[in-house]
Amino acid sequence: MSRAEAADAGATAAPAPAPAPAAARRWGLSLLLSEVTTTFRRWRTLALLGVLAAVPILIGIAVKIETGGDGGDGGHGGGGPAFISQVTNNGLFLVFTSLAATLPFFLPMAIGVIAGDSVAGEAGSGTLRYLLVAPAGRTRLLLAKYATTMAFCFAATLVVAVSALAVGALLFPLGEVTLISGTTIGFGEGLLRALAIAAVVALSLVGVAALGLFVSTLTTSGVAAMATTVGLLITVQILDQFPQLSAIQPYLFPHYWLSFADLLRDPVYWDQVLRNLGLQALYAAVFGSAAWARFTTKDITV
Protein backbone atom coordinates (compact mmCIF):
# COMPACT_ATOMS: atom_id res chain seq x y z
CA MET A 1 0.00 0.00 0.00
CA SER A 2 2.69 2.44 1.04
CA ARG A 3 4.76 1.45 -1.98
CA ALA A 4 1.85 2.12 -4.30
CA GLU A 5 1.18 5.46 -2.64
CA ALA A 6 4.88 6.34 -2.87
CA ALA A 7 4.90 5.37 -6.50
CA ASP A 8 1.81 7.47 -7.18
CA ALA A 9 3.27 10.37 -5.25
CA GLY A 10 6.53 10.07 -7.13
CA ALA A 11 4.72 9.99 -10.44
CA THR A 12 2.62 12.98 -9.44
CA ALA A 13 5.52 14.97 -8.06
CA ALA A 14 7.86 14.26 -10.97
CA PRO A 15 8.85 17.71 -12.19
CA ALA A 16 8.11 18.61 -15.78
CA PRO A 17 11.01 19.80 -17.91
CA ALA A 18 10.03 23.43 -17.31
CA PRO A 19 13.43 24.98 -18.05
CA ALA A 20 13.57 23.39 -21.51
CA PRO A 21 12.41 26.50 -23.46
CA ALA A 22 14.80 28.79 -21.59
CA ALA A 23 17.60 26.27 -21.98
CA ALA A 24 16.84 26.01 -25.68
CA ARG A 25 17.03 29.79 -26.03
CA ARG A 26 20.32 29.92 -24.17
CA TRP A 27 21.71 27.11 -26.26
CA GLY A 28 20.45 28.86 -29.40
CA LEU A 29 22.42 31.98 -28.48
CA SER A 30 25.49 29.86 -27.75
CA LEU A 31 24.99 28.13 -31.08
CA LEU A 32 24.86 31.47 -32.90
CA LEU A 33 28.03 32.72 -31.24
CA SER A 34 29.74 29.40 -31.97
CA GLU A 35 28.68 29.50 -35.62
CA VAL A 36 29.92 33.09 -36.08
CA THR A 37 33.22 32.35 -34.35
CA THR A 38 33.80 29.14 -36.29
CA THR A 39 32.97 30.75 -39.63
CA PHE A 40 35.26 33.73 -39.18
CA ARG A 41 38.13 31.56 -37.95
CA ARG A 42 38.21 29.40 -41.06
CA TRP A 43 41.05 30.01 -43.48
CA ARG A 44 38.57 30.01 -46.35
CA THR A 45 36.65 32.90 -44.80
CA LEU A 46 39.83 34.85 -44.11
CA ALA A 47 40.98 34.23 -47.67
CA LEU A 48 37.69 35.55 -49.07
CA LEU A 49 37.93 38.67 -46.92
CA GLY A 50 41.55 39.11 -48.02
CA VAL A 51 40.58 38.97 -51.69
CA LEU A 52 37.81 41.50 -51.11
CA ALA A 53 40.22 43.82 -49.29
CA ALA A 54 42.68 43.55 -52.18
CA VAL A 55 40.19 44.78 -54.81
CA PRO A 56 40.19 48.44 -53.63
CA ILE A 57 43.98 48.32 -53.37
CA LEU A 58 44.29 47.19 -56.98
CA ILE A 59 41.77 49.75 -58.19
CA GLY A 60 43.47 52.57 -56.29
CA ILE A 61 46.94 51.66 -57.55
CA ALA A 62 45.66 51.31 -61.12
CA VAL A 63 44.01 54.74 -61.02
CA LYS A 64 47.12 56.28 -59.44
CA ILE A 65 49.39 54.85 -62.12
CA GLU A 66 47.00 55.74 -64.94
CA THR A 67 46.55 59.35 -63.86
CA GLY A 68 49.99 59.93 -62.41
CA GLY A 69 48.22 61.59 -59.46
CA ASP A 70 47.67 64.78 -61.46
CA GLY A 71 44.05 65.14 -60.33
CA GLY A 72 42.67 64.54 -63.81
CA ASP A 73 40.31 61.82 -64.90
CA GLY A 74 43.08 59.79 -66.47
CA GLY A 75 41.30 59.72 -69.78
CA HIS A 76 38.54 57.51 -68.43
CA GLY A 77 35.86 59.95 -69.43
CA GLY A 78 33.46 58.29 -67.00
CA GLY A 79 34.24 54.78 -68.22
CA GLY A 80 35.00 51.80 -66.01
CA PRO A 81 33.31 51.23 -62.67
CA ALA A 82 30.95 53.93 -61.47
CA PHE A 83 32.61 57.02 -59.90
CA ILE A 84 36.11 56.00 -61.02
CA SER A 85 36.66 59.29 -62.87
CA GLN A 86 36.27 61.18 -59.57
CA VAL A 87 38.63 59.07 -57.47
CA THR A 88 41.67 61.26 -58.21
CA ASN A 89 39.81 64.36 -57.00
CA ASN A 90 38.55 62.76 -53.79
CA GLY A 91 39.74 59.48 -52.32
CA LEU A 92 36.32 58.89 -50.73
CA PHE A 93 35.01 58.04 -54.17
CA LEU A 94 37.23 54.96 -54.11
CA VAL A 95 34.75 53.54 -51.57
CA PHE A 96 31.85 53.98 -53.99
CA THR A 97 33.93 52.69 -56.91
CA SER A 98 35.07 49.59 -55.03
CA LEU A 99 31.55 48.72 -53.88
CA ALA A 100 30.28 49.14 -57.44
CA ALA A 101 33.11 46.93 -58.73
CA THR A 102 32.70 44.13 -56.17
CA LEU A 103 28.90 44.00 -55.90
CA PRO A 104 28.18 42.34 -59.28
CA PHE A 105 30.51 39.36 -58.69
CA PHE A 106 33.07 39.31 -55.86
CA LEU A 107 30.74 40.04 -52.94
CA PRO A 108 27.87 37.72 -54.00
CA MET A 109 30.36 34.98 -54.89
CA ALA A 110 31.83 35.16 -51.40
CA ILE A 111 28.35 35.07 -49.89
CA GLY A 112 27.46 32.11 -52.10
CA VAL A 113 30.48 30.18 -50.81
CA ILE A 114 29.62 30.81 -47.16
CA ALA A 115 25.88 30.19 -47.55
CA GLY A 116 26.28 27.16 -49.78
CA ASP A 117 28.58 25.44 -47.31
CA SER A 118 26.55 26.35 -44.22
CA VAL A 119 24.40 23.21 -43.97
CA ALA A 120 25.86 20.97 -46.68
CA GLY A 121 29.34 21.29 -45.22
CA GLU A 122 28.11 20.11 -41.81
CA ALA A 123 26.27 17.21 -43.41
CA GLY A 124 29.27 16.22 -45.48
CA SER A 125 31.63 16.24 -42.50
CA GLY A 126 29.18 14.29 -40.33
CA THR A 127 28.76 16.99 -37.67
CA LEU A 128 25.19 17.97 -38.56
CA ARG A 129 23.67 15.02 -36.71
CA TYR A 130 25.43 16.01 -33.50
CA LEU A 131 24.28 19.61 -33.79
CA LEU A 132 20.67 18.44 -34.05
CA VAL A 133 20.94 16.45 -30.81
CA ALA A 134 21.19 19.73 -28.87
CA PRO A 135 17.95 21.30 -27.54
CA ALA A 136 17.91 24.25 -29.93
CA GLY A 137 16.25 22.23 -32.68
CA ARG A 138 16.38 22.46 -36.45
CA THR A 139 14.67 25.82 -36.79
CA ARG A 140 17.08 27.58 -34.44
CA LEU A 141 20.04 25.88 -36.13
CA LEU A 142 18.87 27.07 -39.53
CA LEU A 143 18.33 30.61 -38.20
CA ALA A 144 21.82 30.56 -36.71
CA LYS A 145 23.27 29.53 -40.07
CA TYR A 146 21.42 32.31 -41.87
CA ALA A 147 22.33 34.91 -39.25
CA THR A 148 25.98 33.88 -39.57
CA THR A 149 25.79 34.30 -43.34
CA MET A 150 24.27 37.75 -42.91
CA ALA A 151 27.02 38.65 -40.44
CA PHE A 152 29.50 37.73 -43.16
CA CYS A 153 27.56 39.92 -45.63
CA PHE A 154 28.08 42.96 -43.43
CA ALA A 155 31.67 42.04 -42.57
CA ALA A 156 32.61 41.54 -46.23
CA THR A 157 31.03 44.84 -47.28
CA LEU A 158 32.73 46.64 -44.40
CA VAL A 159 36.10 45.16 -45.37
CA VAL A 160 35.73 46.53 -48.90
CA ALA A 161 34.65 49.96 -47.66
CA VAL A 162 37.37 50.29 -45.00
CA SER A 163 40.08 49.07 -47.36
CA ALA A 164 38.92 51.52 -50.03
CA LEU A 165 38.80 54.41 -47.56
CA ALA A 166 42.33 53.66 -46.31
CA VAL A 167 43.76 53.37 -49.82
CA GLY A 168 41.88 56.47 -50.98
CA ALA A 169 43.26 58.48 -48.06
CA LEU A 170 46.81 57.31 -48.80
CA LEU A 171 46.83 57.85 -52.54
CA PHE A 172 44.40 60.70 -53.16
CA PRO A 173 43.22 63.91 -51.48
CA LEU A 174 40.16 63.93 -49.23
CA GLY A 175 37.69 66.75 -48.85
CA GLU A 176 34.24 67.93 -49.77
CA VAL A 177 32.13 65.57 -51.86
CA THR A 178 30.35 66.68 -55.00
CA LEU A 179 27.21 64.57 -55.39
CA ILE A 180 25.75 63.29 -58.65
CA SER A 181 23.16 66.06 -58.51
CA GLY A 182 25.91 68.70 -58.32
CA THR A 183 25.45 69.56 -54.65
CA THR A 184 28.60 69.78 -52.52
CA ILE A 185 28.57 68.31 -49.02
CA GLY A 186 31.20 68.15 -46.29
CA PHE A 187 33.56 65.23 -45.82
CA GLY A 188 31.77 64.16 -42.62
CA GLU A 189 28.41 63.90 -44.36
CA GLY A 190 30.16 62.11 -47.21
CA LEU A 191 31.41 59.49 -44.74
CA LEU A 192 27.88 59.04 -43.40
CA ARG A 193 26.58 58.51 -46.91
CA ALA A 194 29.36 56.01 -47.54
CA LEU A 195 28.30 54.11 -44.41
CA ALA A 196 24.66 54.15 -45.57
CA ILE A 197 25.71 52.89 -49.00
CA ALA A 198 27.72 50.06 -47.41
CA ALA A 199 24.64 49.07 -45.38
CA VAL A 200 22.45 49.05 -48.50
CA VAL A 201 25.03 46.95 -50.36
CA ALA A 202 25.11 44.42 -47.50
CA LEU A 203 21.31 44.23 -47.44
CA SER A 204 21.34 43.74 -51.22
CA LEU A 205 22.94 40.34 -50.57
CA VAL A 206 20.05 39.07 -48.42
CA GLY A 207 18.49 37.27 -51.39
CA VAL A 208 21.73 35.53 -52.38
CA ALA A 209 22.25 34.40 -48.78
CA ALA A 210 18.77 32.86 -48.63
CA LEU A 211 19.21 31.19 -52.02
CA GLY A 212 22.54 29.71 -50.96
CA LEU A 213 21.06 28.46 -47.70
CA PHE A 214 18.24 26.72 -49.56
CA VAL A 215 20.66 25.07 -51.98
CA SER A 216 22.77 23.98 -49.02
CA THR A 217 19.82 22.02 -47.59
CA LEU A 218 19.44 20.03 -50.81
CA THR A 219 22.78 18.21 -50.74
CA THR A 220 25.42 16.82 -48.41
CA SER A 221 28.28 18.14 -50.53
CA GLY A 222 29.52 21.59 -49.57
CA VAL A 223 31.43 21.94 -52.83
CA ALA A 224 28.34 21.09 -54.89
CA ALA A 225 26.22 23.57 -52.93
CA MET A 226 28.78 26.36 -53.33
CA ALA A 227 29.20 25.67 -57.06
CA THR A 228 25.44 25.56 -57.61
CA THR A 229 24.87 28.83 -55.76
CA VAL A 230 27.60 30.64 -57.68
CA GLY A 231 26.37 29.11 -60.94
CA LEU A 232 22.82 30.32 -60.30
CA LEU A 233 24.18 33.76 -59.46
CA ILE A 234 26.07 33.99 -62.74
CA THR A 235 23.09 32.68 -64.70
CA VAL A 236 20.69 35.23 -63.21
CA GLN A 237 23.13 38.06 -63.88
CA ILE A 238 23.43 36.97 -67.52
CA LEU A 239 19.64 36.92 -67.85
CA ASP A 240 19.56 40.45 -66.43
CA GLN A 241 21.60 41.70 -69.40
CA PHE A 242 19.31 40.66 -72.27
CA PRO A 243 16.89 43.39 -73.43
CA GLN A 244 14.53 40.67 -74.69
CA LEU A 245 13.94 39.62 -71.07
CA SER A 246 13.06 43.09 -69.81
CA ALA A 247 9.64 41.84 -68.63
CA ILE A 248 11.16 39.56 -65.98
CA GLN A 249 14.32 41.50 -65.16
CA PRO A 250 12.74 43.70 -62.45
CA TYR A 251 12.06 40.46 -60.53
CA LEU A 252 15.66 39.20 -60.67
CA PHE A 253 17.52 39.80 -57.42
CA PRO A 254 20.56 41.59 -58.97
CA HIS A 255 18.47 44.02 -61.03
CA TYR A 256 18.52 46.92 -58.56
CA TRP A 257 21.89 46.24 -56.96
CA LEU A 258 23.53 49.43 -58.24
CA SER A 259 20.64 51.58 -57.05
CA PHE A 260 22.81 52.57 -54.07
CA ALA A 261 24.17 55.34 -56.31
CA ASP A 262 20.90 57.20 -55.71
CA LEU A 263 22.09 57.83 -52.15
CA LEU A 264 24.62 60.23 -53.69
CA ARG A 265 21.89 62.56 -54.88
CA ASP A 266 20.37 65.58 -53.15
CA PRO A 267 17.60 64.92 -52.45
CA VAL A 268 18.05 61.15 -52.26
CA TYR A 269 16.07 59.10 -54.79
CA TRP A 270 14.55 56.32 -52.71
CA ASP A 271 12.39 54.55 -55.32
CA GLN A 272 15.01 52.17 -56.74
CA VAL A 273 16.65 51.64 -53.34
CA LEU A 274 13.36 50.62 -51.72
CA ARG A 275 12.51 48.36 -54.65
CA ASN A 276 15.86 46.66 -54.22
CA LEU A 277 15.38 46.12 -50.49
CA GLY A 278 11.80 44.93 -51.00
CA LEU A 279 12.90 42.47 -53.67
CA GLN A 280 15.66 41.12 -51.41
CA ALA A 281 13.15 40.68 -48.59
CA LEU A 282 10.87 38.75 -50.95
CA TYR A 283 13.69 36.42 -52.02
CA ALA A 284 14.69 35.95 -48.38
CA ALA A 285 11.09 35.03 -47.45
CA VAL A 286 10.62 32.61 -50.35
CA PHE A 287 13.95 30.79 -50.23
CA GLY A 288 14.17 31.03 -46.44
CA SER A 289 10.79 29.32 -46.17
CA ALA A 290 11.86 26.72 -48.72
CA ALA A 291 15.07 26.07 -46.78
CA TRP A 292 13.08 25.70 -43.54
CA ALA A 293 10.56 23.32 -45.14
CA ARG A 294 13.34 21.20 -46.59
CA PHE A 295 15.57 21.19 -43.51
CA THR A 296 12.87 20.46 -40.94
CA THR A 297 11.69 17.41 -42.90
CA LYS A 298 15.08 16.19 -44.03
CA ASP A 299 16.23 12.75 -42.90
CA ILE A 300 19.64 13.32 -41.33
CA THR A 301 21.56 10.05 -41.53
CA VAL A 302 25.15 11.31 -41.45
- Give pLDDT, residue 137: 75
- Output the pLDDT for position 18: 42
Provide the 8-state DSSP code for 84: G
Helices (H), the chain: 2-13, 20-41, 43-67, 93-102, 106-125, 128-133, 137-171, 187-203, 206-216, 222-239, 271-297
Chain mean position to CA 149: 6
Predicted confidence at residue 16, as pLDDT, reads 40
So what's the pLDDT on residue 296?
Answer: 84
- CA angle 289-292-298, nearest 5°? 140
pLDDT at residue 263, rounded to an integer: 92
Query: What pLDDT is stored for residue 74 in this prediction?
Result: 43
pLDDT along the chain (302 residues), means of 10: 46 44 63 87 94 95 77 44 76 93 92 90 74 71 92 96 95 89 89 95 95 92 89 92 91 93 90 95 96 83 54
